[in-house]
Chain A
Amino acid sequence: MKKRLTYYSLIFACIFWTCSNEVVERYTPTPVALEIPALFEDRILNPILPVDNPQTAEGIALGKKLFFDPILSGDNTQACADCHAPQNAFSDADRFSEGIDGSIGRRNSMPLFNLAWNYEEKFFWDGRVFSLEHQAFQPVTDPTEMKNTWANVILKLQQHPQYPGLFQQAFGNVTIDSTLVTKAIAQFERTLISSNSKFDEFLLGRSDLSPAEQRGFNVFMDENKGDCFHCHGSDNNPLWTDNQFHNNGLDATFTDLGLGKFTGDPSDNGKFKTPSLRNLAFTAPYMHDGRFATLEEVIHHYSEGLKPSPTIDPLMKKVAQGGVRLTEQDKSDLKAFLLSLSDYDFINNPDFNDQ
């Protein structure tokens, strides 16, 4: 009885509310739940979704169009996707990406996937931007990237035959502005989920590892050998990153201060965000400055190439000897394991490709 009363009053309240809003026909885009992969659901915390930018079908579609459209750049020649291409797991194959006027940045483009699981929401190699929405503001006006002004972007979008309609579908009856552009792009970016590598299949019990991959995983997890799991995730943290900032011993002195430039704390100098080890088959070259062209070089670095510096992470071992000196067998096994984290379904997913 009591329950029924509550229901009635609820319905009443709804009717009342609708009446009072009758004048404005409120448009709501179609909500879309983020598809959380079973493995993530099972093992790690839920993704971060901002309340003021819910995922919608129209918002995602608009974000995707914007992501692949050179209209955002100063001279209509460069899209986000030029430096974040699907076939490269949304990174690019260059060491440093080229902006619209041929100027070269000083960092390697970052792959884009599982971004909603970056719980602290610190983006870029140095974590200088909070949230995906804020991140998307940067490349458009960056002089070494798309070198545009927001005023110009908005003008072009407003005069475009399709965009005004698409923005209305995504956000209702509003004027296009930079905030809406970044919201749409962020919605699309959150859908870029990679969870179908061979190793994922193995964890789900649907596939076996080769003996080399299995041995390589053991090298990765063995504190006496690779000891990679303290920073790069594990079978229990299938993001394959801690999304934290470390100095992994690349340099004795720093030309790029990384996190330290942003925080101003010298003990952060030379620290960069741990990249995910998913999709390494598509994301060469490696490290924040793309200094290593191959995984062999990366493994050589950890095995015998470590350089001491005041901020080198204490997890780096036997620095005086250059590293733990893995055997050739361990190295090739480790490489085989790392490649088993690459997700071919992800790069071929039609939802993520242009048109």
Chain B
Amino acid sequence: MTRAVPILLLFVVLFSCQKDNDDNASNVSISFNFMHHWDGTAVTNQDFNRIKFINENGEQLSIERLRYLISDVTLKNQNGEVLVIDDYNLVDVTNSENLTFSPEALIPTGVYSNISFTFGFKNEKNSDGAYPDLNSASWNVPQMLGGGYHYMQFDGKFLNSTNTEQGFNYHAIRAVDDPGDNPVFPQDTFIIVNLGPVTITDTPVFNIEMNIAEWFKNPNTWDLNMYNQMLMPNSTAQIMMFENGQHAFNLKTIEQ
């Protein structure tokens, strides 16, 4: 996959008017580094393809492929005004690609009460086939499951109860029931990741960490012998992924 530069649109609510009057505020670029660890031990693609991790349930496992989508970086200022960067990034840990996301939009310096991003796509952005770069990356969800895109593709192998290597496909998508022409959606499963308050002074770099072990841990102790493959059409599994993903990300540091 070539690193496609996604189309950028910046929705500015109220800010544009304010900016004209405020000579002190300047606009700066922001970027995000995505780093990964397993309960504190750093993980890169160099750690892939070997059974070397143990999850909360005690299962030994390997990571062979890990990609996930983040979108809609959102800043809220102290007046409650919200600025959404309408852009997305497919983090590809397998190939060490797009580990840094630098949206083209510029952000006014200042104090923000919260910065957040979406893990996956919000439903209204999750339209089937809408993004050629994601289609080219085979990131789609079949229409029988509601279409749109994967949130995460996490593939690997684990030692099952008979001590044999078995594949697992921890694929997070929008939870869906009744696959077919009229699928229904029991609840939203994209995740809003809140990073907390931030004062932006100069081209900040947000270092974001994902603890991969969290996906198997909290609140649902994941049993790979039970949930390993064919999880896309399994709304119970999807909702558990959504719950476990709540604590997977955190903001490690900001450099600016």
Residues of A within 8 A of B (CB): 42-45, 48, 119-120, 218, 221-224, 227, 229-231, 233-237, 239, 242, 267, 308, 310-320
Contact = CB atoms under 8 A, between A and B. Distances in A.
10 contacts: A45-B132, A119-B2, A229-B142, A234-B138, A237-B138, A267-B49, A308-B165, A314-B155, A315-B167, A317-B229
Interface of B: 1-2, 4, 48-50, 64-65, 128-129, 132-133, 135-138, 140, 142-145, 153, 155-157, 164-169, 179, 229-233
A44 B229 contact: no
Contacts of A48: 2
Nearest to A241: B138
Given A222-B144, A314-B155, A236 B128 contact: yes
Contacts of A311: 49
B159 to A, nearest CB: 13
Contacts of A310: 165
A234 B140 CA distance: 8
A260 B1 CA distance: 20
B133 to A, nearest CB: 6
Given A236-B135, A317-B167, A320-B164, 19 more contacts: A43-B129, A44-B135, A45-B2, A45-B136, A119-B2, A120-B2, A222-B144, A222-B179, A229-B142, A234-B140, A311-B49, A313-B64, A314-B156, A314-B168, A314-B169, A315-B155, A315-B169, A316-B167, A320-B166
B49 A236 contact: no
Nearest to A267: B49
A319 B166 contact: yes
Nearest to A121: B2
Nearest to A117: B136
Contact of B167 (A45, A223, A237, A319): A319
A271 to B, nearest CB: 11
Contacts of B136: 44-45, 119, 237, 239
B64 A314 contact: yes
A310 B168 CA distance: 14
B155 A236 contact: no
A312 B156 CA distance: 10
A223 B157 contact: no
Nearest to B229: A317
Given A43-B135, A223-B232, A317-B229, A312 B144 contact: no
Contacts of B166: 319-320
8 tightest Cβ-Cβ pairs between the two chains A and B: A314-B167, A267-B49, A221-B142, A314-B155, A236-B129, A236-B135, A45-B136, A242-B138
Contacts of B144: 218, 221-222
A82 to B, nearest CB: 33
Contacts of B165: 308, 310
B155 A120 contact: no
